[in-house]
Structures are given as structure tokens and as C-alpha cells.
Structure 1
């Protein structure tokens, strides 16, 4: 069984509100990543900030499992722990909430690269994409919990103890030539560009 996890625990301070609920093309931003995960995985888990369950449930519907982060100060690592703890799959493929052009074949490939190892993370432009990843749930959950207890908050640091496959950029470009799966919406300008892309059907 494969679980899809979407992390939405961060505030979109440059977006004027809860980032995952910002409207793009008439839909909450997070709904695009969730829709991709619904195609790829057997179940979808969304990790959100404390107190945000109702808002996300209203936006996404009852079919999606919504879980709240326990320690907001821990950042994305806490969201990852929260999602892995709630997941039922042996492996969990992960994405952030703000990648509206995330491709199903990219997620499927990341999950396949992870098989037989602790996980897989793409490396784009020489740097890892720490929130586009897949992990062997049970082992990695324990490793991330231990890292958090030791005061580690950076994902790249938490990943160092794991047996990961680092997926090269050329492998990702073979599926997504413009690497649009990794394009995050961080500003109002990014949101407008995404709106234009949707209007022009350039995806």
C-alpha cells in the first residue's frame, strides 16, 4: 500500500493567509497536490497546522485524512513525522501543498526509486528537493522522531542517517522537462503566473 502525504503546516506570510487555502483557479491551492496524490496513492494524508483541521476538511472533503502537526516550531520535519505517523502505507510519497503543477508520473517515479531503500529524494540543480520525496514509513518515522528529539529541525540533516536514493535531475526532466512539478507558489506574483498558466492551459 502506498500513502500520499501533502504537507501544509506553514503559514503563507507572503500570501496573506493560510497558504494551502489560497485560491488558485477557483480552488484551494492544496487541492492540486491532493488531486495528484489521489491518482498516485491508495490513501491521502494532509498534515496541517494546529487548529486548522476544520478549514482543510471543508476545503478537501471527508475522503482526505487531515492530521495536525504537534510542534509548529519544528517546521516541515514535524509535518513529515505527523504524516508518516498517520499513514497506513509501507511507503509514503510526499509533496508540499503549494505545487499546483505536480505531475503524477513524477510522484510515481519517486515512489519507485524508494523501493527497497529507506527513501528517495530528487536532486535539482545540485540541491535536494526535501519536500518532494518518498520514505519507507516505519523506519523513517523512527529516525525522524529521534532526530527531532536531538534538536534537528532541518530536513537535509534528518535525511543524513537514512539510506536514500538521490534521483538525478535528468531523470526528473525525462518526465517533466520544465520541472514544473517543483515550482512552488511563494508570492502573489507566483500566484498570478500560475493563474495565467491555468488560463492558457500551459501545463
Structure 2
């Protein structure tokens, strides 16, 4: 059953390490990453939003396409645009270059949402995973405050808002190898992604 939550895909990166090739359209196992994400989202969310500054490239994607509100390029800008467009009080975010997101792990985060939490975020030995997290509409004023001052680090939000974490042990119960956090940033990552795809069938 779809949950009363919006699912957001952030597709605003510059893709410098792929010579400008759009990472959302990279194929792994013959399927575009954006289509892999949509397959997961369609079973979870009542509304799907995709944030991009190239809307024309996504005309075949069944989602609400929105663009950044601020001219500066940053992940925080994308978070703001997606959360602003969300029809629900909460929105789950993921980047467009993460091909192996697990339904069970997203569900774990959604089950952790409480009225007092503004952000629900995975916490591992490597740190927080702000691009695989649930944000509440109450985050918007803090996002605007930072964006208007060119304070673009997402971590700045964590000092202003109520953050609830999901620890690594709980995360690994749903995704033992934490492949949900693996993103394709370079050609070498693409090679590894194909190997993960073959290993997982």
C-alpha cells in the first residue's frame, strides 16, 4: 500500500566524471537507474517528485518534474525544491545515481518517523546519509535561511532541527551490505555496479 509520503528523486548533478552524461540514464543490467528507482517508488509512495534543471530530458518519466528555486547548484537546493513540491508532510529523498535502493530499508526509515522528528536519517560508521533520508516540511524555513546565505552544507540543518537517526545495526538488518547507499560517481563505480547487479541476480 502506498504511504502518505512523497518520494523524491534528486537529479540535479553536473555529472562531471561522466563527461556530462546524465547519470540517471546510465544503464545497469540493461535498465536505466531512474527506472530502477521508479520501480521501487511506485510501490511505496502516493506522489513521486523528480528535481532537475533539465526538465525536457525527463518527459518520459512518470513523476512531477520540478526545478530548483535558487540559482546556486547544491544538494540542499534540490532538497528544498523537492520538499516544497511535496504534497505530503514528509518526503523521502534519494539521488538519481543510486541503483540498488532497498524497499525494506526505506520502509525502516518511514517506520521510524515520529511527530517530533524533522529529519530521519541513516547513521553509519561513515557518517550520516543525507541523500537517503526523510525530511519533514518543518525543515523548509531552515533550508531557506541557509540557501539565502549561501550556507550550502546539508549538515548545517542538523544543528537547527530535530534529527532522529537509524543506526547501522538496524540498517544492516534490512540491507546487509548497505548497497542502498552505493552511488555511481565514476566509470569505476559503474563497473562495480554491474558486478553488484550480477551478484544479486
User: Hey, which bits of structure 1, 4+ residues long, moved more than 6 A?
Assistant: none
Give the Cα separation in 1 of the matches to 2:30 and 2:176: 27
Cα distance, 1:22 vs structure 2 = 2.1
Tell whether the 8 Å contact from 2:11 to 2:52 is kept in structure 1 after alignment.
Answer: yes
Cα distance, 1:134 vs structure 2 = 0.2
User: What is residue 40 of structure 2 aligned with on the other side?
Assistant: 36
Tell whether the 8 Å contact from 2:70 to 2:147 is kept in structure 1 after alignment.
Answer: no
Q: Deviations over 1:29-79 (max 9, x none)?
A: 222222212222111101012xx1121122x2xx31111123352400000
Give the Cα separation in 1 of the matches to 2:15 and 2:113: 30
Give the Cα separation in 2 of the matches to 1:151 and 1:11: 19
- The alignment yields a C-alpha RMSD, in angstroms, of 1.6
Q: Give the TM-score normalised by the residue count of structure 1.
A: 0.90
User: What is residue 202 of structure 1 aligned with on the other side?
Assistant: 200
Tell whether the 8 Å contact from 2:94 to 2:133 is kept in structure 1 after alignment.
Answer: yes
Say yes or no: does 1:168 pair with 2:167. yes
Give the Cα separation in 2 of the matches to 1:130 and 1:47: 16
User: What is residue 12 of structure 1 aligned with on the other side?
Assistant: 15
User: What is residue 83 of structure 1 aligned with on the other side?
Assistant: 82
Give the Cα separation in 1 of the matches to 2:143 and 2:111: 21
Tell whether the 8 Å contact from 2:6 to 2:92 is kept in structure 1 after alignment.
Answer: yes
Give matches, 1:81-120, under 5 Å: 81-116=80-115, 117-120=117-120
Tell whether the 8 Å contact from 1:100 to 1:181 is kept in structure 2 after alignment.
Answer: yes
User: What is residue 184 of structure 2 aligned with on the other side?
Assistant: 185
Cα distance, 1:110 vs structure 2 = 1.2
Structure 1 stretch displaced more, 77-86 or 108-117: 108-117
User: What is residue 142 of structure 2 aligned with on the other side?
Assistant: 143
Tell whether the 8 Å contact from 1:33 to 1:96 is kept in structure 2 after alignment.
Answer: no
Q: Give the TM-score normalised by the residue count of structure 2.
A: 0.90
Structure 1 stretch displaced more, 34-43 or 23-32: 23-32
